[in-house]
Amino acid sequence: MTWLELADGVHARRYEHLDQTLGLVVGAERCLVIDTGCDEVHGAAFAAEIREVTALPWVVVITHAHFDHHFGTAAFLPCPVWAHERCRDALIREGESDRAKWVRRLAGKPEAERLAAARLVLPDHLLTQSVQLDLGGRIVELVHPGVAHTDHDVAVHVPDAGVLFAGDLVEQGAPPSIGSDAHPAQWPTALDRLLALRPATIVPGHGDPVGPDFVAAQRDELSRS
């Protein structure tokens, strides 16, 4: 586990488990937490690690409804929890079945018991296309670039820092995960929309931060698949 400082007040937290990367953006009045981890133990650890960086109140955004990005949310409550409107629908429809699938896959590991015990928290602030959040002296934009990894992916653009948190729209260290809820034909278009924001640094949901050329290459691979 390690913090990566990407710009002033913009951080990524790297975890060995699932090669996961969570995010933190700090303003003058509040901070934005980008995804909350696999379970409440993971979420509580991430919350404690954030408190080593800032004491400001937090807002949470969930990039999409896959288990490793949201089952730690209860550790951050009470706070606003943002997501795409279809993310909430997916959590209602599939949150428990996704949990059960991964509990089986992780059977025999401590992570399985922790996931089984985690509370499923539904987002209470919903977006359709985009929304701007004022963190105090810093505006961040939550962007839905179109259907791709899921039908409800949200990226977090920090324009004053040139940083974009992409969730699982981008993966480094492994090919993009194309599950049954993915839209591979539309995925390259979603990445083009993110690249049009002209970020200097893109933070994947799994792996190390990358530059635009990496994302363009991944887009081209998806176009050929």
Could you tell me the maximum CA-CA distance found in the chain, to the nearest angstrom?
A: 47
Residue type, 7: A
pLDDT at 189: 98
pLDDT at 107: 96
Asked, as a colleague might, if the bond just before 188 is cis with ω within 30 of 0, I would say no
pLDDT at 1: 73
Short-list 105, 220, 54, 194, CA closest to 204: 194
pLDDT at 225: 77
* CA–CA gap between residue 64 and residue 70 (Å, rounded): 8
| Phi (first) and psi of residue 144, to 5 degrees | -100, 105
* CA–CA gap between residue 137 and residue 194 (Å, rounded): 23
Short-list 8, 34, 5, CA closest to 21: 34
pLDDT at 73: 98
* CA–CA gap between residue 133 and residue 69 (Å, rounded): 20
Q: What is the mean pLDDT of each run of 10 residues along the chain (225 residues)?
A: 94 96 98 98 98 98 98 98 98 97 96 98 98 98 98 98 98 94 97 98 98 98 91
String of b and e for 2-26 (b: at least 16 CB within 10 Å)?
eeeebeebbbbbbbeeebbbbbbbb
**Cross-strand bridge partners of residue 125:** 82
pLDDT at 180: 94
Helix (H, G, I), strand (E, B) or coil at 121: coil
Sequence-distant (6+) residues with CB within 8 A of 196 are none
Domains of the chain: residue spans and CATH? 2-224 (3.60.15.10)
